[in-house]
Amino acid sequence: MIDLKKIEELLEECLPKEDEGYGLLSSAMRYSILGGGKRLRAIMLIESFRLFSDDKELEEYTAYPFACALECIHGYSLVHDDLPAMDNDEYRRGALTTHKRYGHAMGILTGDALLNYSAEIITSAGENLEKNKPDYYMDNMRNFMRAASILYKNAGAFGMIGGQVLDVEGFKDNARPDENMLATMCELKTSRLFQSALCCGAILAGADETAVSLLDDIGRLMGLAFQIRDDILDVTASFAETGKDTGSDEKNNKSTFVSIFGLDAAREKIKELYDEMMMKLLKLPGDKSAFETLFGRLFSI
């Protein structure tokens, strides 16, 4: 599995320096992204690429910038999710959330900046590919553009943001949503970025449609399991364990698998999803040990 330190180095290098930008913006952007985290999405994107290609130059010119852009998108979503109008959380990863550190207005602007910066990373990578590796550019630009399209569609109004809308609205027309409704929200809100990670990495490496479809399914299942896991931790874990405020779902009167079906049913659902993920993973080529290790660590609740 790619070294977490390598991901941190890539992010450190690609983000604006402290003295760049206006006022505290560059500082707030760095604070929001470099404050720790599992880097799951970045790791998954690069490991997905490696399932289908061992071309280190292509990995550097395509998978690395996409991994950084994906982390910026994820980071912006967390900055906005923590705002008073959303979950109103004060801590994340054991530190003050961005709006608590820099103010509410800067929290909004930092999230906006990170989303836009992700696009800057992608477009700059395309320019670098064309300039420094013209043969790669000609051979891989179609895959590059397809991956970019998937990334931003999954993060947009009918993907992650759409899921956040369902979460914020709280299913007002149905005070007690059923399992399918909850799954739809989780798949949009959480799965879409996991799907982007797995599919974009594979597409950049030239994977065929059968493999991309399998990875898309794995990402969907993983996101659902991950969201249920997060719901469980919100009830059972402490601040010391999670580094963020717990009890947030109950405080905000949100419907979750735990609140509706209970802890035992939620844990059983994760097991079912994990088993299905592993069956699909076995159908993919290459060394899948990185994913086997990752999934095992995540879903051992």
Give residue 251's pLDDT: 66
Answer yes or no: are the C-beta atoms of 92 and 244 closer than 8 Å. Answer: yes
Answer yes or no: are the C-beta atoms of 190 and 223 closer than 8 Å. Answer: yes
Q: Closest Cα to residue 96, out of 227, 239, 254?
A: 239
CATH 1.10.3720.10 fits 4-298, yes or no: no
Element (H, E) at 245: none
Give residue 244's pLDDT: 67
Long-range CB contacts for residues 3-9, cutoff 8 Å, separation at least 24: 4/39, 4/43, 7/39, 7/42, 7/43, 7/67, 7/71, 8/34, 8/39
Handedness of CA 163, 167, 171, 176 (dihedral sign): positive
Give residue 19's pLDDT: 80
Answer yes or no: are the C-beta atoms of 238 and 246 closer than 8 Å. Answer: yes
Give residue 176's pLDDT: 67
Per-residue model confidence as pLDDT tens digits over 99-133 = 999 999 999 999 999 999 999 999 999 999 999 99
Length of the chain counted residue by residue: 301
Per-residue model confidence as pLDDT tens digits over 217-252 = 999 999 999 999 998 988 887 766 666 666 666 666
Strand pairing partners for 92?
A: 95
Amino acid letter, 89: D
Instruction: Kindly give, in sequence order, each residue whose CB lies less than 8 Å from that of residue 137, ignoring residues fewer than 6 positions away.
Output: 126, 129, 130
Other beta carbons less than 10 A from residue 164's beta carbon: 18
Answer yes or no: are the C-beta atoms of 145 and 130 closer than 8 Å. Answer: no
Which residue's structure tokens are 């985290």? 37
Counting as low any pLDDT under 70, the low residues of the chain are: 170-176, 239-253, 301
